[in-house]
Amino acid sequence: MARMDDALPWFRELSADKRSWVMLVAQAGVRSLVEWLRRDRTGAVATQEIADEVFEAAPRALARAITLPQTVALIQVTIDLVEEFVPRLAAAGQEAALREAVLRFSREVAFSAARVYARAAETRASWDTRLQAMLVDALLRGDSPDVLASRAAALGWADASPVAVAVGPSPGGDPTAALHTVHRTARRVGADVVGGVHGDRLVVVIGGATDPGAATKLLLPAFGAGPVVVGPAVRSLDEATDSARAALAGYRAAPAWPEAPRPVAADDLLAERALAGDAEARRQLRDGYGALVRSGGELLETLDAYYAAGGVLESAARALYVHPNTVRYRLKRAADVAGFSALHARDGFALRIALAVGRLDPPTPNQPR
């Protein structure tokens, strides 16, 4: 213990109970060495079997309190001290044999320490995987903020803004391997992530990324083949349920747009989501229609004429008895009001769906948003 105090500054800062654990391990190591030397002559016991007994004296919490490099340093100090005392411990003429035996035994102790920490890491990884799956499940169910905060705290979630949810196909195989790829990539981009495999879907919560879409693009190797949808960015994990619902609705509707980019924003799939029965997408499209109604009838009239003319400005202008530039100006106003431009193919499709949804289910002043 005195040598550890002198050689390892961090050892002096350990609490009394942790120092006692280390002492137990050191004593067990010396006893195991003596026992191994006694029994090794007959070959009655394997070196690994004796070496593994060294760490059985310590509680499992020791692997969490002391890192693997620190454990290696402790073993090194102990072995160095034993080697110093070899001349006093060995019988005459047996110094070299004892020193070789100590080296052989220390090698097995080092391997045993690696096995202890490997098992601890596997257990921790499995537990983290379950915790992440539980947090993602709570998000998808829309659990209370307290439940989300509790489970996020257990994972060390920093809740950096903004937060967005990405949904895509699971790559299959061990979920831990998929999540390992997610976390490894997230560290490179400086984002905080939590993920879970739900059935055939991989759901990833991304926090602290300025552009969640760009961050998701870097995470694509973790997903399987198929569409990957990113929900809208929100301020914190408390609001991430909305992003998760939008991403899931977009993932279900994504097959309707085969040429969709990968990843694709859930808001870019509003038309497909509405056709698939997503109430939130219908509400957003209905709001766009309501804004057009409030702006005056000429915008709706122009849109109807434009679509009836097959998207030809001149034909729409003749039907309305106006100049083509007037049609172009009104279409620009409609884009500013509704958020979709009839002059672009994707926006034009969403705008036509918005007109249909709005006419089938007209918004009212008192209708909740």
Residue range 282-336, pLDDT digits in tens = 999 999 999 999 988 899 999 999 999 999 999 999 999 999 999 999 999 999 9
Burial of 4 (0-12, 13-18, 19+ CB in 10 A): buried
Residue 164, SS3?
strand
Same domain, 344 and 231: no
Q: How many angstroms separate the Cα of 145 from the Cα of each of 122, 150, 153, 226, 369?
A: 30, 8, 12, 32, 22
Q: Write the pLDDT tens digit of every residue in 138-185.
A: 777 777 777 777 777 766 677 778 989 999 999 887 777 777 788 788
- Torsion angle of the four alpha carbons 64, 70, 72, 73, in this order, in degrees rounded to the nearest 10: -160
The values of phi and psi at residue 6, to 5°, are -75, -40
Please check whether residue 270 is in contact with residue 281, taking contact to mean a CB–CB distance below 8 angstroms: yes
Same domain, 147 and 109: no
Residue 71: inside a domain: yes
Same domain, 45 and 152: no
Same domain, 244 and 290: no
What pLDDT is attached to residue 326? 94
Last residue of a domain, one of 124, 159, 183: 124
Please check whether residue 205 is in contact with residue 162, taking contact to mean a CB–CB distance below 8 angstroms: no
What pLDDT is attached to residue 265? 95
Please check whether residue 363 is in contact with residue 289, taking contact to mean a CB–CB distance below 8 angstroms: yes
Element (H, E) at 286: helix 279-294
Q: How many angstroms separate the Cα of 35 from the Cα of each of 28, 32, 44, 116?
A: 10, 5, 11, 21
What pLDDT is attached to residue 368? 45
Same domain, 187 and 242: yes
Q: Provide the domain limits for residue 87.
A: 2-124
The one-character DSSP state at 311 is T
What is the identity of the amino acid at 193? V
Same domain, 309 and 262: no
Same domain, 199 and 225: yes
CA distance 200 to 169: 6
Q: Using the structure block, give the residue that is written with the tokens 């047996």.
A: 94
Same domain, 207 and 252: yes
Please check whether residue 158 is in contact with residue 208, taking contact to mean a CB–CB distance below 8 angstroms: yes
Low-confidence ranges of the chain (pLDDT < 50): 44, 368-369
Q: How many angstroms separate the Cα of 328 from the Cα of each of 306, 307, 323?
A: 10, 13, 9
Same domain, 114 and 201: no
Please check whether residue 115 is in contact with residue 63, taking contact to mean a CB–CB distance below 8 angstroms: no
Residue 273: inside a domain: no
362 cis-preceded (ω within 30 degrees of 0): no
What pLDDT is attached to residue 369? 43
What pLDDT is attached to residue 120? 64
Domains: count for the chain: 3
What pLDDT is attached to residue 35? 79
- Quote the distance between the C-alpha of residue 246 and its chain's center: 18
Residue 163: inside a domain: yes
What pLDDT is attached to residue 123? 55
Residue 134: inside a domain: no
What pLDDT is attached to residue 367? 52
- End-to-end alpha carbon distance in the chain: 69
Residue 271: inside a domain: no
Residue 311: inside a domain: yes
The pTM (predicted TM-score) of the whole model is 0.65
Same domain, 308 and 223: no
